[in-house]
Amino acid sequence: MGQVINSTQIKELFSKSGDIVVRPVKLNQNGITFSIFCVDGLINSQVMDQGILQTLHQDVYLKNCMTEREVMDYLMSGGAYHAFTSVEEDYQLLIKSVLSGILAFIFDGEKKAILYDIRTFDKRSISEPTEEAVIKGPKDSFIEVMRTNTALIRRRVRSEHLVMEQLTVGTLSKTDITLMYITTVANMDTVAQIRDKINSIKIDNLSAPAFIEEFLIENKKSLFPQIMFSQRPDRIAANLTDGRIAITVDGIPFVYLLPCQLPMLIQSPEDYANHFFVGSALRVLRYLAMVVTLFLPAVYIAATTYQNQMLPVQLALSTQAAKQNVPFSSASEVIGLLICFEILIEAGLRLPKTVGTAMSILGGVVVGQAAVTANILSPLVVVIVSLAGIAGFIVPNQDLSSGIRVTRFCFSLMAAIGGFLGVTVALILLLIHLCSLDNYGVAYLSPFVDVDRSNHKDTLFRFPVKYFTKRPQKIAPYNRTKQACGEEK
């Protein structure tokens, strides 16, 4: 049998916690007393004092109540003067609710509590996204408060079919998680799989985003992200209407999306804000940049180390002349400079913003020029690594960019070992790995590997909006109609 609700027991439980308030309040002259149970700093004290307690003491009916049952029935029938009011009989749920910021009035005789949702706490204001900023489009972004994030999505998807299930993870932290989906669009089998994965998480505390991510992804050994995150409510709303499932975690200022495919990570909100020709050109540029950042260092190593005859004569002569006084091999130069590049990136992230900018300029320009002058590096290597590094940052998704940077090292090492044969082997292994990834029944390379032509109109190129008539079949198998008008071509 579970514990019963009792103010004395609760007061003893939190006797060493100075922020927990448990104190009795006399309601009338008939001996009716209840106990306030709340967390100082998580409730709106002004609403509690003026909107609830003062109103209760001035209520004529309550002054004549003889029993706690009579008081509770009156409060729940409209006498509470507060819309968000409920009765709680479970001890553990009462503790969880109060520690989440709910105000509780405990009636020891009835072994029940009346809950008032008057939560309030300091929070960051809604501001422009730092990683997904657009010129044309909404400027709001998610913050660390889950209920604010769900409200931003609900404001954009005003459908009665949008469901927001609230779950709890963390035996100690009891972190709130909201699972969002549209019942008439989403694949309910996928929803059930994700819900079961979340409920199966047994951990003390979700202290970092990677904790929840690693439980939700299916292939944990892959460098490539299999769960997408976004700071933009409009982007989450658009994916919800496509049939995907969104997950928001209290304390994390972004929302996750599942299932996730590789093309989603290369798309940007700016693609849909511009003309479809411009959006398509930007998309092609990102794919080209991804190829450049992966292959350019490896191709340079292979060409200068094993296959010099593949280079044009003038380029081969200039490359050999530049390397004449450099004591290191091409592979050592490129891999060493790539490592230095990563060190500069990490240092810039850890330092204050103004110092980090100055340090990046100093490290990138001054040190690079000094290394070339001292014949430690050849000028072409600096150009190659710089182009590869800059191209890697064009990818909109930070997790994908990090995975590509690590893969770039693997390609460079394979080029140093086997030349173009090593690069070819690395490419084949990469393609096999990407083709083997499956994200809740959807291929990771989808829609590139789909036979349905309607799925290809928002991948490498962005077609005009009138062609977006169907949802992906694997994402929304039972409701594919996205646009009633429009001609399927």
Write out pLDDT tens, residues 168-218: 888 888 888 999 999 999 999 999 999 999 999 888 888 778 888 888 888
Nearest CA-CA partner of 238 in 157, 127, 129? 157
State yes or no: pLDDT of 91 exceeds 70: yes
Domain match, 353 and 392 both = yes
Nearest-angstrom CA–CA distance, 94 and 106: 10
Domain match, 295 and 432 both = yes
Domain end point (choices 71, 101, 116) = 116
Instruction: Establish if 482 belongs to a structural domain.
Output: no
First to last CA, the chain: 64
Domain match, 343 and 422 both = yes
Least trusted range by pLDDT, from 104-113, 155-164, 456-465: 456-465
Cα–Cα separations (whole angstroms), residue 465 to 155, 195, 273, 338:
23, 33, 11, 41
pLDDT grade, residue 458 (50/70/90)?
A: confident
State yes or no: pLDDT of 30 exceeds 90: no
Give per-residue burial for 298-330: e unless 16+ CB within 10 Å, then b. bbbbbbbbbeeeebeeeeeeebeebbeebebeb
Instruction: Establish if 23 belongs to a structural domain.
Output: yes
Cα–Cα separations (whole angstroms), residue 484 to 160, 183, 335, 467:
20, 19, 53, 11
State the DSSP string of 120-185: ----PPP---SSS--SSS------S-HHHHHHHHHHH---TTEEEEEEEE-TTT-EEEEEEEETTT
pLDDT grade, residue 357 (50/70/90)?
A: low
Residue 180 has a pLDDT of 94
Domain match, 176 and 86 both = no
Domain match, 155 and 60 both = no
Residue 1 has a pLDDT of 46
β-partners of residue 209 are none
Domain end point (choices 439, 458, 479) = 439
State yes or no: pLDDT of 73 exceeds 90: no
The mean per-residue pLDDT over the stretch 458-484 comes to: 82
Domain match, 84 and 31 both = yes
Q: Which residue has the tokens 């959006």?
A: 279
Domain match, 373 and 323 both = yes
Instruction: Establish if 444 belongs to a structural domain.
Output: no
- On the 0-12 / 13-18 / 19+ scale of CB atoms within 10 A, 181 is buried
Residue 431 has a pLDDT of 93
Interacting residues of 372 by C-beta distance below 8 A, sequence separation 6+: 378, 379, 382
The mean per-residue pLDDT over the stretch 247-265 comes to: 91
Instruction: Establish if 465 belongs to a structural domain.
Output: no
Domain match, 234 and 379 both = no
pLDDT grade, residue 354 (50/70/90)?
A: low
Backbone torsion region of residue 448, taken as left when φ is above 0, otherwise alpha when ψ lies between -120 and 50, otherwise beta: alpha
> Higher pLDDT residue, 137 or 232?
232
Highest average pLDDT, of 84-88, 124-128, 293-297, 455-459, comes from: 293-297
**pTM of the full structure:** 0.83
Residue 489 has a pLDDT of 43
Domain match, 249 and 316 both = no
The mean per-residue pLDDT over the stretch 435-455 comes to: 82
Q: Quick check: bond before 259 cis, omega within 30?
A: yes
Domain match, 206 and 100 both = no
State yes or no: pLDDT of 341 exceeds 90: no
> Higher pLDDT residue, 388 or 366?
388
Nearest CA-CA partner of 157 in 128, 134, 180? 180
pLDDT grade, residue 487 (50/70/90)?
A: very low
Domain match, 89 and 192 both = no
Q: What is the mean pLDDT of the chain?
A: 85
Residue 244 has a pLDDT of 93
Instruction: Establish if 336 belongs to a structural domain.
Output: yes
Residue 362 has a pLDDT of 65
Q: Are 73 and 142 in contact (CB under 8 A)?
A: no
Domain match, 373 and 310 both = yes
Instruction: Establish if 404 belongs to a structural domain.
Output: yes
Domain count of the fold of the chain: 3
Nearest-angstrom CA–CA distance, 246 and 264: 14
Domain end point (choices 439, 455, 482) = 439
Instruction: Establish if 186 belongs to a structural domain.
Output: yes
Instruction: Establish if 405 belongs to a structural domain.
Output: yes
State yes or no: pLDDT of 375 exceeds 80: no
Nearest-angstrom CA–CA distance, 22 and 16: 12
What angle (nearest 5°) sits at the alpha carbon of residue 81, between those of residues 78 and 85? 75
Q: Taking the C-alpha atoms of 249, 252, 254 and 255 in order, what is their torsion angle to the nearest 10 degrees?
A: -10
Residue range of the domain that includes 157? 146-260
